Amino acid sequence: MTSFERDAMGAICLLAAFADGQPEPAELERLKSAAAGASGGDGAGGLSSEVYQRVMLKQVDVGTEAARLNTPELRRQAFELAVGICDADGVTTDAERRFLMDLAWKLQIPENEARAVIDNADELAADPLSRPIGMSAAVAAPPPLPAAPAPGASDAEIDASIRNHAILCGALELLPQGLASAAIIPVQMKMVYSIGKRYGYPLDSGHVKDLLATVGVGVTSQVVESFGRRIMGGLVESITRHVVGGSLGKVAGSLARGGTGAAVTFATTYGLGQVARQYYAGGRKMSAIDLKSVFGRSVEQAKGAYGQFAPAIQQQASSLNPARLLDLVRA
C-alpha cells in the first residue's frame, strides 16, 4: 500500500468518526491520541497527525480520498473500516448512514452490497447487553458468570473469565476482516456487564460506556486506533492478498503483522475487566483517579504477560469463523 493510499484510508476513518457531528471534548481528545498512537506518534503511516489536522480543518474531501484507492479490495476495506467506526458507539444514525451511502457510491460499491454491510454492522452494534454472546461451535466461549457470587468463592473464577474475554478480543484484532474490530466493543461490554451482575449491579449500555470513558477508553477512539494499526501494520495488504489468492479463511499471514494490535486489545480488555471487578466488588465507591490507576496498572501487567497468552490468542483467531462474527452478539 502506498503512502497516498494509507493517508486516504486514514482520512476516511476519521471522516467516519465525525459523520454524526463533532464528538464530545473528551472523545475528541481520545481521537487525537488514537491518531498519534496508530501512527507510532511520528506520522509514519496509519492515522497520521497530518491527516488528523486536515480533517479537523475540513481540508479533506471524501470523494478525493476515495479516488486514491486504486483496487476494489482496498475500496471495500475502506468502506468496512468506515462502517465499523460509525457503529462503534451504537447503530448508525441517519447522518452516518447518509455519509456511508455517499462513501459507497464514491468507492464504486454497489448499493445493495453497501446496505448489507451496514445492516450487519448495525446488528453487531445493537445493544449488546440485551442478549448473550453466542459463539461458533469451534470456539470455546468465556465461562459464564453466575448472577451473584457463590458463598466462599475466590476471585479466580472472575479472573479466568477476564482472561478469556481478553484472549477473544485479541483474537478478533488479528482477523483480517474490517468488521472484526467492531465486535470487540460488544464483547468488552458483555464482560463488564457480567462482572457487575455478579456483584448485584444490573447495568445497561450507558453505565458500561460511562465506566469505559472514566478510565479513558472511548468506544469510537478505540475502534479508530484499531483500524489505524491495521492500516499502518499492513494488515489491509494481507487482506488483499488473501482475497486475490482465494484464501480468506487463512489468517496465518496476518498474525505476525497484527501482533501489536492484538497485544494492545488484549491488555485493554484485561484492564477493563480488572477495573470492573474492583469497582463493583467495592460497591462502586472508587474515585475516577483510583479507577484510572487500577486500569493503568492492569494494562501494563497484561502487556508484560502477553507473550504467555499469544499462542492462545493466535489459536483462537485461527478457529474463529470470520463469516460468523454476528454469532458473537446474537442470542
Higher pLDDT: 178 or 240? It is: 178
pLDDT at residue 172 above 70? yes
pLDDT at residue 227 above 70? no
Sign of CA pseudo-dihedral 214, 13, 261, 318: positive
At 47, is the pLDDT very low, low, confident or very high (cuts 50, 70, 90)? low
- What pLDDT, on the 0 to 100 scale, is given for residue 198? 85
DSSP string, 186-201: HHHHHHHHHHHHHTT-
User: For the segment 81-117, what is each residue's pLDDT rounded down to a tens digit?
Assistant: 888 888 877 778 899 999 999 999 999 999 999 999 8
At 25, is the pLDDT very low, low, confident or very high (cuts 50, 70, 90)? low
- What pLDDT, on the 0 to 100 scale, is given for residue 180? 73
Q: How many CA atoms lie within 13 A of 24 on its CB side?
A: 8
Query: How many domains does the chain contain in total?
Result: 1
Least confident of 18-22, 23-27, 151-155: 151-155
The amino acid at 313: I
- What pLDDT, on the 0 to 100 scale, is given for residue 240? 38
- What pLDDT, on the 0 to 100 scale, is given for residue 326? 66
What average pLDDT score do residues 30-46 get?
51
Q: Give the Cβ contact number of residue 141 at 10 Å.
A: 14
Higher pLDDT: 48 or 329? It is: 48
Higher pLDDT: 163 or 27? It is: 163
- What pLDDT, on the 0 to 100 scale, is given for residue 328? 62
What average pLDDT score do residues 128-146 get?
42
Rounded mean pLDDT of the chain? 75
d(CA 32, CA 55): 11
User: For the segment 282-315, what is each residue's pLDDT rounded down to a tens digit?
Assistant: 899 899 999 999 999 999 999 999 999 999 999 9
Which domain range does residue 170 map to? 3-328
d(CA 142, CA 145): 9
Asked whether 38 and 225 are in contact (CB, 8 A), the reply is yes
SS3 258: coil
Q: Is 292 exposed, middle or buried (0-12, 13-18, 19+ CB in 10 A)?
A: middle
CA gyration radius for the chain?
A: 19
Asked whether 177 and 322 are in contact (CB, 8 A), the reply is yes
Q: Quick one: cell of 57?
A: 480543518
d(CA 249, CA 146): 35
